Amino acid sequence: MVGAAQGRIALRILLTGAGGQLGTDLLGQAGHHEVIAPTRPMMDVGDRDMVLAAITSSGPDLVIHAAAWTAVDACEADPDRAYRVNALGCRHVAEGARLAGAHLVAVSTDYVFDGTKEGPYLEWDAPNPLSVYGRSKLAGEHEIHTVLPGAAIVRTAWVCGRHGSNMVKTVLRLSAGDGPLRFVDDQRGCPTFTEDLAAKLLELGVSRRPGTFHVTNQGPTTWFRFARDVLDAAGRDPERVVPISTADLDPPRPAPRPANSVLDNAALRLSGVPLLPDYHDPLERTVKALLDQ
């Protein structure tokens, strides 16, 4: 009942990363809430003074921290930038939210795990990131837990949507050409669509739930099988997609990827909070919208 009651109250929400693919859908789903969405020049999350000024001056009830440097391979070459944005940025945003008395929902990643577990990862499994990106995001989680223990951290994976760059758009673009499409079949995860993820972030924020949550669409798959699903949804030949191993990627990727990125949404499930739907439904809607553009 608390969540339902708060859902009818217009909150003032400060959103970081509003220009990204997730941030765009968060803006679109904010509904009756008032959203303050400072741009990067207005609020560089790595600059403590800018962050504290932006948050405290706007007096938000809720901060949703979706800004991050997510260029996984580029992070390997520039770890200082990765930690400045993904770790210190979380410290500064958490401090600003604490000073403003706002609840904080921060987005994290499956890359905090090494991918060696046999089954899906629970929220309580020990992280062991393989890459600079994963280590910087885990550092950001630690900063939030230290500065604002009542915050919510939402780990997600394989994010796709209508906006920005993502795998669905890549597969559609490649399929416009000729020849086979090669995708790895030894990395598993759950595709997560930004429209669904944005709604759940807002729900968790409005209800002021604390702690760590895994939030993905349901249905584990591989990149190979997901690429086939994209072509099938587009009415194109899925047989053009052929499986390869990660070791066969040419050129090889600088940052190691976890072989198993399947996240069990246990904290939601055990709390009685509805899970996101199977990924095939939002995939159909997303592909149709992209092809109609």
Catalytic residue set: 133
> Can you give the C-alpha Rg of the chain in angstroms?
19
Rounded CA gap, 199 and 274, in Å? Answer: 12
Q: Residues near 175 by Cβ (< 8 Å), separated by ≥ 6? A: 181, 230, 231, 234, 236, 240
230: closest CA among 264, 197, 191?
Answer: 191
Tokens of 157: 């994976």
Q: CA of 70: how far to CAs of 22, 150, 166, 258, 292, in Å? A: 12, 25, 12, 15, 28
Rounded CA gap, 81 and 63, in Å? Answer: 23
Tokens of 259: 């072989």
